């Protein structure tokens, strides 16, 4: 069987044109080197050298094998380099989910920009998905982590095992109104003043936690929205509001993607908040993920003071 040492010995003889000189450079006995070259020739079934008075020179077969042998050693060196950097977390791939309406948020974009600038050999692949789907894919190992909002008042418990959370920033709520509507011109003092106006809403099965959160916010101030469940994501909801289909309540991150036909307003009745977090598996073995987590924590600490929540220890 051809081994790496056979290839190295062979190329040393080719380079020096002499078994004796190659043996000196390799710090092995000449008979031992001759034996290794003979074993290699037997394994390959071809003579690799022609012996002459001035030393040895590769045969035609030897010349071809020398080309392949150099390529093999170069590939081995490159593989060793890649494995070393992957093990250190300075090279590799990260599969990161992101809720579509957070994809434009400057704090997330800046975090990714800083990381890719520091680790250019780590490919960051962003995969847009809603929060519920992201959590499932992270648990299943299809994603290394994800930017999402997944915990909302009043049920703000950490209920998913084996995940960890880095809180990135806090979101407030905004009242989304058609720009040229009567309510935009004269904003209702209470949400309940919206009466039976249609509320463009997420279908509960698409974002159940978010639906419960918004419903709880409305009920806490005496408002029962007349939900029109026709918006599967924030961009669609804002588009429908712009088209005059009704009002909506959205996170303030929507300011980064809001269409011209919609106004986003602070409202005294919208007093609840939620966090956007980076979620990942506690036992994920991807070294690049640890680099990413360290980078996020450094960036996060410049956004607002909070702590990483260990879900298993706080259950």
pLDDT tens-digit map of 292-303? 999 998 877 665
Domain with CATH 3.40.190.10 in the chain: 92-170+274-314, 173-265
Q: How far apart are CA 229 and CA 207, in angstroms?
A: 11
pTM above 0.75, yes or no: no
The predicted pLDDT at position 205 comes to 84
pLDDT tens-digit readout, 199-231: 999 888 888 888 899 999 999 999 999 998 787
For the chain, report the end-to-end CA distance as a whole number of angstroms. Answer: 56
> What's the rounded mean pLDDT across residues 123-127?
94
| % of the chain exceeding 70 in pLDDT | 93
- CATH 1.10.10.10 in the chain, residue ranges: 4-88
Q: Under 8 Å CB-to-CB from 281, ≥6 apart: which residues?
A: 138, 139, 141, 144, 145, 162, 163, 164
CATH number for the domain whose boundaries are 92-170+274-314: 3.40.190.10
Q: Given CATH 1.10.10.10, say whether it is the number of domain 4-88.
A: yes
CA distance 171 to 274: 5
85 falls in which pLDDT band (50, 70, 90)?
low
Q: Beta-strand (E) ranges in the chain?
A: 49-52, 55-58, 92-98, 122-128, 145-148, 163-171, 173-178, 198-200, 226-228, 248-251, 262-265, 274-281, 309-310
DSSP string, 171-207: E-EEEEEETTSHHHHS--SSGGGGTT-EEE---TTTS
Q: Give the strand order in the sheet containing 163-171.
A: 122-128, 92-98, 145-148, 274-281, 163-171, 309-310
Task: Give CA–CA dist 22/8, Å, rounded.
Answer: 10
CATH 3.40.190.10 fits 173-265, yes or no: yes
């Amino acid at each position: 069987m051809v081994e790496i040492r056979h290839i190295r010995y062979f190329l040393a003889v080719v380079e020096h044109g002499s078994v004796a000189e190659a043996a000196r450079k390799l710090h092995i006995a000449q008979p031992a080197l001759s034996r290794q070259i003979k074993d290699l020739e037997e394994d390959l079934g071809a003579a690799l050298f022609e012996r002459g008075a001035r030393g040895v020179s590769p045969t035609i077969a030897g010349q071809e094998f020398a080309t392949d042998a150099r390529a093999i050693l170069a590939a081995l060196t490159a593989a060793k380099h890649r494995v070393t950097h992957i093990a250190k977390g300075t090279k590799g791939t990260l599969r990161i989910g992101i809720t579509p309406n957070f994809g434009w948020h400057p704090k997330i974009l800046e975090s990714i920009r800083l990381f890719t600038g520091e680790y250019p050999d780590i490919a960051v692949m962003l995969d847009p998905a809603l929060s519920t789907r992201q959590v499932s894919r992270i648990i299943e190992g299809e994603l290394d982590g994800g930017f999402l909002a997944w915990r909302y008042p009043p049920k703000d418990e950490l209920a998913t095992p084996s995940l960890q959370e880095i809180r990135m920033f806090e979101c407030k709520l905004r009242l989304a109104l058609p720009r040229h509507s009567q309510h935009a011109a004269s904003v209702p003092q209470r949400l309940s003043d919206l009466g039976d106006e249609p509320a463009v809403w997420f279908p509960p099965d698409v974002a159940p936690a978010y639906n419960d959160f918004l419903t709880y916010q409305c009920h806490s101030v005496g408002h029962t929205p007349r939900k029109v469940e026709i918006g599967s994501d924030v961009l669609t909801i804002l588009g429908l509001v712009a088209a005059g289909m009704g009002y909506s309540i959205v996170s303030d991150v929507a300011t980064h993607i809001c269409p011209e036909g919609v106004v986003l307003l602070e409202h005294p009745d919208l007093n609840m908040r939620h966090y956007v977090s980076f979620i990942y598996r506690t036992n994920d073995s991807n070294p690049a993920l640890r680099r990413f987590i360290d980078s996020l924590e450094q960036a996060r600490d410049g956004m607002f003071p909070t702590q990483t929540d260990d879900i298993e220890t706080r259950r």
